[in-house]
A and B are shown apart, each in its own frame.
Chain A
């Protein structure tokens, strides 16, 4: 007992392993930025291609002052969220139903298997051709990127639900809608959330690409336009903001997962 107390008091300042690693993880990008700044100022790296972080930050502030940056962020996030809903909701419904119904699975599965390997970015010209240069083609690209991982994960998630739960539903006279609502959907939710994370990542990639071709707004446009006008620090601002959005979405989705799947761990 005395020993335990002694050990407990020995290092009151000591961090637990987890928080120590947390601090290290937070420090490593900061150290890299400082190194970059120093090398840029010392002229070791070419600032035409690798402008100093302070320079990028200055551009970022300037773009915020004019509202230009907010305009691009808003355009991209709108397309991303509309595309997420347009692609994600049908994916969820079709995926869960494919998991429950073998006939539907037999019809849809080959279509998904045949089209899934096509790189989504290669559909962009077709999307532009059919849907034009407006918002529809961009939303479509996000939707298609979101659709596949969510639909496939929803189907797998439902099929992996232990059969005994469906027996319970049947024995307690759950209707088809009840089975969907109380068994298939919550039972597949952990797998679906994995699909949602993959889908959002894919959506972000595709919106950047789609905006580079035939758009007048958005972060993809900002980056592409910066290349055409050789405004390199603007390009870095675009890259930085996209990275930040990706990171923020990951954090948000992890929270959403905790909320929707409170029964795992």
Chain B
């Protein structure tokens, strides 16, 4: 993560080198494939994601990136292969928490109850819940809305609650499935900055899915580009920018534009392939 390391796009390294001195990866995915009947959604994916790494996956729609995340979340089972999450330091904390795409807050619970859900499900002490939920509602600027119901909030605020809910659960790894895709440009920018600020507090391992190249570069330490169906690892890209990041300043840097460009060139073939695939499928 120090300055520019040669060309920003390097097609080789699937992850940080695993030497005897290197810390164990937070997530190790090995030869993982997912089939739905004859349909191959994910084909032989092998990646190591380092502890504290902000790992972003981009790919054309239908490339299986959401399926990969749902497998990591335990909502789907891999057909072949496996993954392990290093929970050596978990000490009773959950393995993962997911921020879902679109509206996933319980409409029948207040903002507070939604944010407290994970902690309540694992029977945390009331005083602990009060402290942690209070902290994250404060960090997301939602303290005033603790007693509101989701339908009383804007889309941006609802997604803030979703993020607070996942962070408050204090998991080993955070999984985020295009959490900002439904937001307008201004709100998206605000939430990206907020997410970075909250993430800087503890630097948890994050796997973040997006179809926006900008977002991937703004947030990520490393970006994995996936191929169109079947989803494979096409390229890994290291993001050379340091932290903490300021989104506006980042976007002014000269190599920001060239990085976006090179990632987009990689992605473009896949998006076109995905498009022709969906056309031949008679859509």
Contacts and interface: CB of A to CB of B under 8 A. Distances in A.
Given A164-B102, A262-B149, A263-B149, A173 B108 contact: no
A135 B169 CA distance: 53
A172 B104 contact: no
A164 B98 CA distance: 11
A183 B107 CA distance: 10
Contact of A172 (B102, B107, B117, B150): B117
Contacts of B100: 164, 167-168
23 contacts: A164-B102, A165-B104, A165-B106, A167-B75, A167-B104, A168-B106, A168-B117, A169-B121, A170-B74, A171-B98, A172-B94, A172-B121, A173-B94, A173-B118, A178-B121, A186-B106, A186-B108, A186-B109, A187-B106, A189-B108, A261-B108, A263-B109, A263-B150
A12 B147 CA distance: 36
Interface in B74-107: 74-75, 94, 96-98, 100, 102-104, 106-107
Interface in A188-228: 189
Contacts of B117: 168, 172, 182
B260 interface: no
Contacts of A174: 121
Range for the number of chain A residues in contact with chain B: 20 to 34
Contacts of A171: 73-75, 96-98
A183 B98 CA distance: 17
B122 interface: yes
B117 to A, nearest CB: 6
Interface of A: 164-165, 167-175, 178, 182-183, 186-187, 189, 261-263
A263 B108 contact: yes
Q: Which 6 A-B pairs have the closest CB atoms?
A: A186-B108, A263-B149, A172-B118, A171-B98, A263-B108, A172-B121
A174 to B, nearest CB: 5
Interface string B166-178: 0001000000000
A168 B121 contact: no
Contacts of B75: 167, 170-171
A174 B109 CA distance: 15
B151 interface: yes
Nearest to A265: B151
A168 B96 CA distance: 12
Contacts of A164: 100, 102-104
A109 B108 CA distance: 28
Nearest to A178: B121
A173 to B, nearest CB: 5
Contacts of A186: 106, 108-109
**Residue among B98, B103, B108, B151 having the largest count of chain A Cβ atoms under 10 Å:** B108
